[in-house]
Amino acid sequence: MTFYINEEQMEDYLFKIVLIGDSAVGKSNLLARFARDEFYSNSKSTIGVEFQTQKIDIEGKEIKAQIWDTAGQERFRAVTSAYYRGAVGALLVYDISRRQTFDSIGRWLNELHTHSDMNVVTILVGNKSDLKDAREVSTAEGKVLAEAQGLFFMETSALDSSNVSAAFQTVVKEIYNILSRKVILVQEHKKQDTSWMENGKTIVLQGETNHEADSRTWRAKCCSS
Amino acid sequence: MANLSFTLPVPSTDKEGGRRLYSLISFLRFPIFDPDDFLWGILDLDGLMDVLWGILDIEQPDTQTITKIVVPSVELIYSYAEFWQSLLDCSKFHTHSRLCWEYPQQTMLGTDDVVENIALTTPPAASSDIASATGGITQVLIKDDFATSSVQYYCDGCSTVIFLSHIMCVGLVLFFSERPQHVILITVGGTKNGTLQLDLPRTFPGHPWLDTLRGHASLHRVLVGYSFKDSHVGYCQGLNCVSAMLLLMMKIGEDAFWMLAVLLENVLVNDCYTPNLSGCYVEQRVFQDMLAKKYPRIAAHLEDMEFDVSLVATEWFLCLFSKSLPSETTMRVWDVLSYEGAMVLFHVVLAIFRAQLYSI
């Protein structure tokens, strides 16, 4: 029995989540705030793709979110869309102080649906909610769009860190719930008892990369930067 | 949404050129009400007039040239400034302004570059638009440019090229080539919220000179200038880092601009920064093959992990290492790059991977 408990603690969830949206809406800063609790009023523009892994605790389970931060400029879409493969979650970010970034949400959704699984858990994020005086997109508008598209919705501010981890956690939790439901379905289907959860199987939700590879890719990235 | 249409007066060839110049100068120094919005403008207007005076000093143009070229140009600047001032009251409006270009063709001198550019890139769909907008000038390109959210007007056979913002005009930039009498480019610079504008403070943030208003303005001029020179490339993220490094080295904006042009046109792989980044993809694939040949062990290792080298190499190739290597090392790489050519980039990337050969 002890063996099983140890095995269960070793159980490893790895969710791949992508951050997408127009240039300079604050994707990198959302990630910096979430993963390192840092904020840079002028961070360098992201060229290509960067990623970071962050541990999240959901219902006592340690979940690793591998968050991919992408370049926002139109011409990088072909580069970045290659990295959507295997993503189970997405944060679709716009800047509440710039309407054009909200207007292009539709194009980003198309992009996401073309290059990834239709079931990817998506949250619409209106960032820079601290810029109250410069607001161009109202909260209601964001909500309406999110409801129409069946997305979660949240307004965040990487600057004062309001709602940042809530946004990430919403996505991760929903993925986890879907996964748990699937597990239950599988269990019912196979008429198996609850030992399924205890047999120590590693569940990797990312297709290509396993956990070990992930830690190594991360190291490779560190050396290169 | 306010719609503002603005028509340039056809300049009359009167003899009051001198007076007009004077009034222009006094006009351009009107007080600035909102420094945040208009600092760009004042910096660029200053530069613009400096350059104009410089040219007049060097060229010592005769009266005919003054009436035919200088006066209309100044008139144009004047009109822009007027247009620009009209924005003072509505600092947030979005306008699809069209500046109607009604200059007689003969007042303008042509450059081969501009003409070639037009011939290659004129989209057929825009031609009806052109005729109404230009009032008789034969070849003009009107192009919607996503990178800068702007409409560009290229006038064949004229020395003036207008670069229009359809969101907000924030500045005037005047560029001269090494043959100043031949190219006058007047730019209503970019959009306030265009990618280019947003990237200025995001280029080496915290740098003591680059991260100042003057630094931003310089970088802005170089990038907008290049987006004019090669409108197919326009502005691509990554060029900001390269241009910033060049500015730091060359000290003078125009030198940095020409260095950038030489880099992109003669040194680097073709089409690296074009809207589909095709050159960059070619580089990635070529590099993958090189890695497999030179260091099969590393290549096999990366393949095992399903790690695509483009994840790290895209930035290296587009920023020419300026974001990833220490600046001294970057400079050394650039030295060799300009001496030996684009192959050097591959050598450097190979070397970076090789450095980790024994840690796997």
d(CA A169, CA A123): 11
Q: What are the angstrom distances between the C-alpha of A206 and each of A17, A84, A168, A214? A: 10, 11, 17, 11
Contacts of A40 in chain B (CB under 8 A): 205
d(CA B211, CA B23): 34
For A169-219, write each residue's pLDDT tens digit.
999 999 999 988 888 888 787 765 555 555 555 555 554 444 444 444 444
Which of B201, B277, B319 lies at the smallest CB-CB distance from A75? B277
Tokens, residue B114: 């501009």
Helix (H) or strand (E) holding A156: none
User: Is the reported ipTM for this assembly greater than 0.85?
Assistant: no
The answer to whether residue B343 is domain-embedded is yes
Task: Measure in Å the smallest separation between the Cα of B176 and chain A Cα atoms.
Answer: 29
Mean pLDDT, consecutive 10-residue segments, chain B of 360 residues? Answer: 29 38 36 35 50 64 67 61 48 28 25 32 33 31 31 28 28 30 33 70 89 82 75 85 93 84 92 90 93 94 89 92 93 95 94 89
- Whether pLDDT at A54 is above 80: yes
- In this prediction, residue A90 carries a pLDDT of 95
Kindly state which CATH superfamily the domain A9-174 is placed in: P-loop containing nucleotide triphosphate hydrolases (3.40.50.300)
Contacts of A71 in chain B (CB under 8 A): 237
Indicate the number of domains in chain B. 3
Global pTM reads 0.64
Which of B277, B304, B312 lies at the smallest CB-CB distance from A224? B312
Task: Measure in Å the smallest separation between the Cα of B238 and chain A Cα atoms.
Answer: 7
Four-CA torsion B252, B258, B260, B265, nearest 10 degrees: 180
- In this prediction, residue B212 carries a pLDDT of 84
| A210 three-class SS | coil
If asked whether residues B166 and B248 sit together in one domain, one would say: yes
- B245 near B259, Cβ under 8 Å? no
Contacts of A74 in chain B (CB under 8 A): 146-147, 275
If asked whether residues B174 and B227 sit together in one domain, one would say: yes
Instruction: Give the mean model confidence (pLDDT) for residues A148-159.
Output: 95
Residue B263: give its domain's CATH number.
1.10.8.270
The answer to whether residue B228 is domain-embedded is yes
The answer to whether residue B296 is domain-embedded is yes
Q: Does B209 touch chain A (CB under 8 A)?
A: no
If asked whether residues B212 and B261 sit together in one domain, one would say: yes
Contacts of B310 in chain A (CB under 8 A): 48, 79, 82
- Which domain range does residue B71 map to? 29-86
Those residues with Cβ within 8 angstroms of residue B236's Cβ, 6 or more apart along the chain or in another chain: A73, A75, B147, B273, B274, B277, B318
Q: Considering only alpha carbons, which residue of chain B is nearest residue A47?
A: B315
Helix (H) or strand (E) holding A138: none
The answer to whether residue B286 is domain-embedded is yes
CB atoms A75 and B240 under 8 Å: no
Contacts of A70 in chain B (CB under 8 A): none
Q: Does B356 touch chain A (CB under 8 A)?
A: yes
The rounded mean pLDDT for chain A is 82
Instruction: Give the mean model confidence (pLDDT) for residues A7-35.
Output: 85
B336 Cα distance to chain centroid: 26
If asked whether residues B308 and B251 sit together in one domain, one would say: no
Four-CA torsion B272, B275, B278, B283, nearest 10 degrees: 30
Chain A and chain B share a number of CB contacts under 8 A equal to 94
CB atoms B319 and A47 under 8 Å: yes
Task: Measure in Å the smallest separation between the Cα of B273 and chain A Cα atoms.
Answer: 9
Contacts of B201 in chain A (CB under 8 A): 42
- B230 near B264, Cβ under 8 Å? yes
Q: Domain boundary at B228, B244, B267, which? A: B267
**Percent of chain A with pLDDT strictly greater than 90:** 54
Tokens, residue A24: 């300079």
Selected residue of B291, B305, B357 to mutate for chain A interface (largest A Cβ count, 10 A) = B305
Q: Does B314 touch chain A (CB under 8 A)?
A: yes
CB atoms A217 and B146 under 8 Å: no
Location of each CATH 3.40.50.300 domain in chain A: 9-174
Which of B205, B306, B311 lies at the smallest CB-CB distance from A208? B306
CB atoms A75 and B193 under 8 Å: no
Q: Domain boundary at B86, B101, B133, which? A: B86
**A57 burial level (CB within 10 Å; 0-12, 13-18, 19+):** exposed
Task: Measure in Å the smallest separation between the Cα of B76 and chain A Cα atoms.
Answer: 30
If asked whether residues B259 and B283 sit together in one domain, one would say: no
The answer to whether residue B297 is domain-embedded is yes
